[in-house]
Structure 1
């Protein structure tokens, strides 16, 4: 056991990873999204792809627990169910591809996706047509594929809710609950592929502490009337994390 703890403590870049866990929880607390967009670009600089995603998953499934009860009361549950069913369909395909990707490609891909998502959010690009049930399933499938290959299921779901005429608290609740459900599905998928590693699971549980602290603070700060301020702060954190993972710094 002492050797195991020593191995965790000597993880490369552990201080930065802990800071990223806190900031990702804070961002999620007041926006309902952003955990992977903040955490993965940093973690991918120090951990292999499957380790980064596994660590995030165990951290992520615990850190939003203080927010779930409130979110369940605010959620639009029909949308949530359709998104999760779609995710189940393509998540295994994404996980298989993840096993073939080198660390550098994963790192730069995650940062590139985060920056691309940030640009779309800032520009306010969104789908203007009618959202039908089949489209919701397809969006969930796209999220499952991206979640499996890059650990980033959020972008399709976030863009979907940008097109929905729903109150801010409903969008926040559905995004948070979807990402929680995705984490459960991802753990099942990783175990099914035989890639579950105790070291990274334990590191994720450890990181849930700063993650939960950030979520709690973010949840306390959240006020629907200050949505623009929260989004601006979240965008700044996502941008800093994504830029840190680009090859321009190597």
Structure 2
């Protein structure tokens, strides 16, 4: 165990991942989304797909612990239940795809997913139809498949809910609690299929410290009246993270 801890601490680029983890927590704290899109590109580039997703997930799971119980009060419970059921059904298939994906291809796909999602959000393209139960189930299934394959379930959820007529605080809370539950799902699947490695868990635990700090600070500065400012800030950070993690810079 001491050797494993020493190896985790000696991980090249760990200090940089710590900085990014704080920024990712800050984004999630004030915007309610985007943490994975910020943190996963660099962790995937440094640690590899499965270990990077594990470390990001542990940090991402710990970060909102102090704010998720408050967010539950504002969640749209029927939608959350539908999203979680369909995600649980689709997630194992996504993980199976990840395990056969080349690491370099994984990095390109992840960056492309982040940038395409960002482009859709910035362009103002929104779903204008009714938020029906079949649509919610489908969105949850897509999120589970995408999350299992490249570690970011958020894009389908974010794209749909930023177009909803729900209050900003309800949208933020529903996305935040969904992502928290997704993290638990994913770690459970990794444990069942033998891909939950102690080194990646330790790195994730180290990254959780700045992530928790960022989440707490982001939640403290959140003001519904400044929603537009938060979105623009989150978009800019996501774009930088996605572009900087592309393999072509290696």
TM-score per shorter chain, which class? over 0.9
| Structure 1 vs Structure 2 CA RMSD | 1.0
Please say which of residues 188-197 and 91-100 is displaced more in the overlay. Answer: 188-197
Aligned residues: 250
Q: Secondary structure at the match of 2:104?
A: helix
Deviation at 1:31, TM superposition (A): 0.4
Distance in 2 between residues matched to 1:215 and 1:64, nearest whole Å:
6
Summarize deviations over 1:37-66 as a string: whole Å, max 9, x none.
000111121111000111111111111011
Corresponding residue for 1:115?
A: 115
Distance in 2 between residues matched to 1:204 and 1:186, nearest whole Å:
14
TM-score calculated relative to the size of structure 1: 0.97
Summarize deviations over 1:53-94 as a string: whole Å, max 9, x none.
111111111110111122111111110000000101110000
Corresponding residue for 1:181?
A: 181
Report whether the alignment pairs 1:102 with 2:102.
yes
Distance in 1 between residues matched to 2:2 and 2:72, nearest whole Å:
40
Corresponding residue for 1:93?
A: 93
Distance in 2 between residues matched to 1:77 and 1:91, nearest whole Å:
21
Ranges in structure 1 where 5+ consecutive residues have no aligned partner = none
Q: Secondary structure at the match of 1:91?
A: helix
TM-score calculated relative to the size of structure 2: 0.97
Corresponding residue for 2:39?
A: 39
The correspondence of residues 46-61 of structure 1 with structure 2, limited to 5 A, is 46-61=46-61
Q: Secondary structure at the match of 2:45?
A: coil
Summarize deviations over 1:123-152 as a string: whole Å, max 9, x none.
111111122111111100000000000001
Distance in 1 between residues matched to 2:218 and 2:58, nearest whole Å:
20
Q: Secondary structure at the match of 1:57?
A: helix
Asked whether the 8 Å contact 2:45–2:52 carries over to 1, the reply is: no
Q: Secondary structure at the match of 1:86?
A: helix
Ranges in structure 2 where 5+ consecutive residues have no aligned partner = none
Corresponding residue for 2:193?
A: 193
